[in-house]
Amino acid sequence: MNLSRDRLLGSAFITPQTALGWALVTAASLAGVLLPIQVRAAGDPAAGRKVYAARCLGCHGDLKTASTFGPNLTGIVGRKAGTGESGVHSRALLESGITWNEASLRKFLAGPTRQVPGTNMPVDVPDPQQIEDVVAYLRTLR
């Protein structure tokens, strides 16, 4: 062991090779943390339409007709929560003060009942990329 080259950390000696290994593991861990931020860069409206068909269509309808349960989501971006023309709206959403934009939609889709306790919407979208895709799709609905 070369004490002039090795570093003392607590009671253990750390060699440059060990320090490099720790740095690589730390960088890999940070990449795992930062990747979801990179996912947020771009949603795919076509993929969002598929997620909508699988997770949202049952309650919110086909966007061309009034829904009998969840509100129609045409024009959702920029609308005050709980004010759509069709569907059932919870008092919690109406009183939430939310105006739907990309950020508020992301938070709501990730956990509707955490974001607005008392909402009628029990379905979340747990996958960050799917959230981005659905938000991109909803932006196209005018």
> What is the rounded CA–CA span in Å between residue 125 and residue 53?
13
35 plus 50 within the same structural domain: no
50 plus 32 within the same structural domain: no
> What is the rounded CA–CA span in Å between residue 46 and residue 15?
51
Residue 84 covered by a domain: yes
Quote the pTM value: 0.70
13 plus 72 within the same structural domain: no
User: Does pLDDT of 11 surpass 70?
Assistant: no
Q: b/e per residue, 124-140, with b = 16+ CB within 10 A?
A: bbeebbbbbbbbbbbbe
Q: Which residue has the higher pLDDT, 70 or 44?
A: 44
65 plus 13 within the same structural domain: no
CATH number at residue 69: 1.10.760.10
User: Into how many domains does the chain fold?
Assistant: 2
52 plus 104 within the same structural domain: yes
Of 18-27, 37-46, 78-87, 94-103, the poorest mean pLDDT is in 18-27
**Residue 63: which domain range?**
45-140
Do 92 and 113 form a contact (C-beta atoms < 8 A)?
no
Residue 2 covered by a domain: no
User: Does pLDDT of 101 surpass 50?
Assistant: yes
33 plus 76 within the same structural domain: no
Residue 81 covered by a domain: yes
28 plus 69 within the same structural domain: no
Mean pLDDT of 42-63: 93
Q: In this prediction, what percent of the chain has a pLDDT beyond 90? A: 54
95 plus 120 within the same structural domain: yes
Task: Give the DSSP letter of residue 23.
Answer: H
Residue 59 covered by a domain: yes
Nearest CA among 48, 109, 61, 55 for reference residue 88: 61
Task: Give the DSSP letter of residue 134.
Answer: H
